[in-house]
Homo-oligomer: A and B are copies of this chain.
Amino acid sequence: MWVTGSVAQADTLFDNVQGITLDEEGRVERFVAVLVGNDGTIEQVYRRGEDLPRDVDYHEDGRGRVMMPGLFDAHVHVMGIGFGALTLDLSQTRSLEEAQAAIAAYVAENPDRPWILGRGWNQELWGLGRFPTAAELDAVVPDRPVWLERVDGHAAWANSKALEIAGITADSVAPTGGRIERLADGKTPSGVFVDAAMELVQQAVMPPRPVDRDLALVEAQKILAAQGIVAVADMGTTIEDWQSFRRAGDAGSLYVRIVSYAAGIDNMVLIGGPGPSPWLYQDRLKLAGVKLYLDGALGSRGAWLKEPYSDAPGQAGLPLLTPAQLRNLMSRAALSKFQIAVHAIGDAANADVLNAIDDLDDTYEGDRRWRIEHAQIVDPADLARFGALDVITSMQPLHQTSDMFMAEARLGPDRLDGAYAWKSILEGRAVLAFGSDAPVEPADAFAGLAVAMSRQNANGQPFGGWRSGEALNFEQALAGFTTGAAYAAFAEDRLGRIAPGLRADFLFVDRDPTMASPSQLRDTRVLETWIGGRKVYDASAAN
């Protein structure tokens, strides 16, 4: 064990902790103290009974609290989290009337905003049985444009003022990969736009100013750190997002670690140029690769299925790219050694990405770590291919409990064997990376751990867990949010565990997660979050 005595090196000893981490084999390991160097890296971890160093510069008494690795959320939209915090949040509304009241209140509180922007509505939760309409928005906001994204980000709802500004009429045509919802007359746009059609209105919305973007990043980091999330994969980084990340890095105010996957090839080339960026700002930022979309979401029936939806027999969702387009884009990225993460939700989409990886894997040698994002609905016949092709499967436990009843409606009872099937994926020997998809779901990794183990929502429903054969044990679930997510981002040599040589990213929490039931795990409170040996969140100081 090496303990420095040099003046240039200032060490901090964290002792008197009940430490847990995963070891390199994925087993829980316990320790009582950690020595952290001045550069934010762990120098040594001490088990019970080992001698602690005496000659250290600083000392932090853990006061017997539980220390665990900082969590890595493998799928978020960082700026979306921040903007979500700055805009109208409808995710807690339980009826159209509640939503209308929340919108009216927000409009009254924000008299200077030229556009009323928000997100989080879900007509399924409202029990509406249909999408809402522009007229229902006009009733509360007739004079300013309103544009509200659905909870999954795959549809949005406009009022008449927004339609007018965007020039939407009965003659407007949806672009490929999109749909304009129409009223009963089959012509008049209803106010809801699905997938690619969202752009028809989005292009008219005033873009956020850089100062708003920077503020959103501040908010996003606060939210993540308070949840014990120390690192994220940002899925769909635009050049504007990246510039905000860099400004924060340059100013020393970037503390949550962000591994970026550029929003499409153009952003990839603009951000990364000839290849992925190096790790920047002491492992706080890196462009790793590109995010591609092959289909939409289940809620809006944009997910691409092998057979039609059970509750909409004429529709099977939309592939957003032809097989040739997908392979061309993947090749373009792989040629320059960018990592590739493809959004695939429906079983047809998952099968096609697997086929594409199979087609390309021989051509692009080396450690590629192809990623499939979501992999929600997989044909059971395809489950073993994830492991066979070494595909990193990036899944979001909370989607399972949010979507389970809707998924049953969309797919019927006979197509669920490969739905949210993380245990099967893991048994197929694929690496599993867990995330939240925040702001689509809350960036709540402890809730994610609980769902991964229980397949039950916050109310303990359904009893016994939904298709509980796919539940994981604690080590497997924690690996998804730590070592698996780090591996998925080529970061296993620096993040994901509490071990010498890795970054000092850890949490103090109010209970021992190895002893907790899933519902206790969900209630875990993060007391402190440390990133790179620096405290970035303290619950006792938070207001």
- Chain A interfacial positions (CB closer than 8 Å to B): 7-8, 209-211, 213-214, 239-240, 243-244, 246-247, 250-251, 269-274, 277-278, 280
Pick the 9 closest A-B CB pairs, nearest first: A210-B273, A211-B274, A210-B274, A8-B8, A247-B273, A250-B278, A243-B273, A210-B269, A250-B280
Chain A contact residues, majority secondary structure: helix
Q: Decide: B270 and A209 in contact? CB cutoff 8 A.
A: no
Q: Decide: B274 and A250 in contact? CB cutoff 8 A.
A: no
The answer for the CA separation of A273 and B280 in the assembled complex, in Å, is: 19
The answer for the CA separation of A269 and B240 in the assembled complex, in Å, is: 9
| Given A278-B250, A280-B250; A270-B239 close (CB under 8 Å) | yes
Given A8-B8, A246-B246, output 7 extra A-B contacts at Cβ < 8 Å: A209-B274, A211-B273, A213-B273, A239-B239, A244-B273, A247-B274, A250-B277
Other-chain residue from B214, B271, B273 in contact with A274 (beta carbon distance below 8 A): B214
Q: Closest chain B residue to A251 by CB distance?
A: B278
Q: Closest chain B residue to A211 by CB distance?
A: B274
Q: Decide: B251 and A270 in contact? CB cutoff 8 A.
A: no
Q: How far is the CB of A183 from chain B (nearest CB, A)?
A: 39
Q: Decide: A270 and B243 in contact? CB cutoff 8 A.
A: yes
Q: How far is the CB of A373 from chain B (nearest CB, A)?
A: 25
The answer for the CA separation of A330 and B210 in the assembled complex, in Å, is: 18
The answer for the CA separation of A37 and B270 in the assembled complex, in Å, is: 37
Q: How far is the CB of A343 from chain B (nearest CB, A)?
A: 25
Contacts of A213 in B (CB 8 A): 273
Contacts of A246 in B (CB 8 A): 246
A-B contact pairs, 16 of them (CB 8 A): A7-B8, A8-B8, A210-B273, A211-B273, A211-B274, A213-B273, A239-B270, A243-B270, A243-B271, A243-B273, A244-B273, A246-B246, A247-B273, A247-B277, A250-B278, A250-B280
Q: Closest chain B residue to A279 by CB distance?
A: B250
Contacts of A280 in B (CB 8 A): 250
Which of A213, A240, A250, A251 has its CB near the most chain B CB atoms (within 10 A)?
Answer: A250
Q: Closest chain B residue to A246 by CB distance?
A: B246
Q: How far is the CB of A103 from chain B (nearest CB, A)?
A: 29
The answer for the CA separation of A247 and B269 in the assembled complex, in Å, is: 12
Q: How far is the CB of A259 from chain B (nearest CB, A)?
A: 15
Contacts of A8 in B (CB 8 A): 7-8
Q: How far is the CB of A488 from chain B (nearest CB, A)?
A: 23
The answer for the CA separation of A209 and B8 in the assembled complex, in Å, is: 43
Contacts of A244 in B (CB 8 A): 273
Contacts of A239 in B (CB 8 A): 239, 270
The answer for the CA separation of A269 and B211 in the assembled complex, in Å, is: 10
Contacts of A214 in B (CB 8 A): 273-274
Contacts of A277 in B (CB 8 A): 247, 250
